Amino acid sequence: MSSDLQADGAADALQPAAVAVAVAQFAAVADPDANLAEIDRLARRAVERGARVVVFPEYSMSFTPEPGQEMLDAAEPLDGEFVRALGDLAAELGVHLVAGVIEQAADRGRFHNTVVALDPSGALVARYRKLHLYDAFGQRESDVVQPGAIEPPELFEAGGLRFGLQTCYDARFPEVTRRVVDAGADVVCMPAEWVRGPLKEAHWRTLTTARALENTVYVAAADQAPPVSAGNSMIVDPMGVELATIGEETDVAVAWLSRERLDAVRRVNPALSLRRFVVVER
């Protein structure tokens, strides 16, 4: 480690944390009410530990191991009962909540795999519809999910940091994260339902860390818990350090993210300013 970064790190340690962020890990079921009860319980645990932003997994609203009619039946518009309940919880706790929901789509035979962010007033302040669907490793998410349109990334601010959104399989496409960072994100929230399988945990850890390193940003990656998903929810800093990690259990993990750390890393590794390419829509 360079003396410059060591000096900056020592200075950071003397400054108050900008914002405490939690990743919350649980195994969602088909019943939205049961999932909402678990979200409520884990959000309160995260707040007790100091969190001001809590990130939940993809498909937190409803999930079955083979996505199909039950999940389609659970789909709601973004002003529906489930998102309103998330907003009420965010307002009660005075925090930002990020979670994966099932949104009704124009094609009523499919739904949008959507991430929403609710602010401490309960308002919906950002949303992201999954772009890259999991048609890989023997799965076909596109059979039931309609991909989102390519739109400008939506951000929200908390504790002086700007937060962006992406989802699960998107981690395998570096340009997704780069677009979010180009829009101004300091932290990328990445809800996931990362299906277990040979080498899949290694892929999860490697890709999550790579997205943080190459963009010099924080990544808050919240996966579902086993047995279907890999677990290993984590918060990674701009130097690729795992600040907080959950193994296979249902739990929350909290880390403190700071502007000072971001600035210190980017002085030593100005990768974003040195790059010579931009992301172009295909």
Query: CA-based Rg of the chain, rounded to a whole angstrom?
Result: 18
What's the rounded Cα separation, in Å, for the pair 147 and 113? 8
DSSP string, 168-225: GGGGG-HHHHHHHHHTT-SEEEEEE--B--TTHHHHHHHHHHHHHHHHT-EEEEEEPP
Which is the catalytic residue, given 76, 154, 168, 189? 168
Signed CA dihedral, 93, 100, 107, 228: sign only: negative
Task: Specify whether 168 is catalytic.
Answer: yes
Task: Count other C-beta atoms under 10 Å from residue 2's C-beta.
Answer: 10
- Residues 271/211, Cβ–Cβ less than 8 Å: no
Q: Mark 14-24 as b/e (b = at least 16 C-beta within 10 Å).
A: eeebbbbbbbb
- Residue of 103, 130, 141, 154 marked active site: 130
Integer Cα distance of 233 and 58 in angstroms: 12
48 is annotated as an active-site residue: no
- 58 included as an active-site residue: yes
Give the Cα-Cα-Cα angle 39, 72, 113 (nearest 5 degrees).
Answer: 60
Residue of 58, 76, 103, 214 with catalytic role: 58
Calpha distance 62→102 (Å, rounded): 7
* Both tokens assigned to 42: 């884990």
CA 27 to mean position of chain CA atoms: 16
Q: Which residues are catalytic?
A: 58, 130, 168
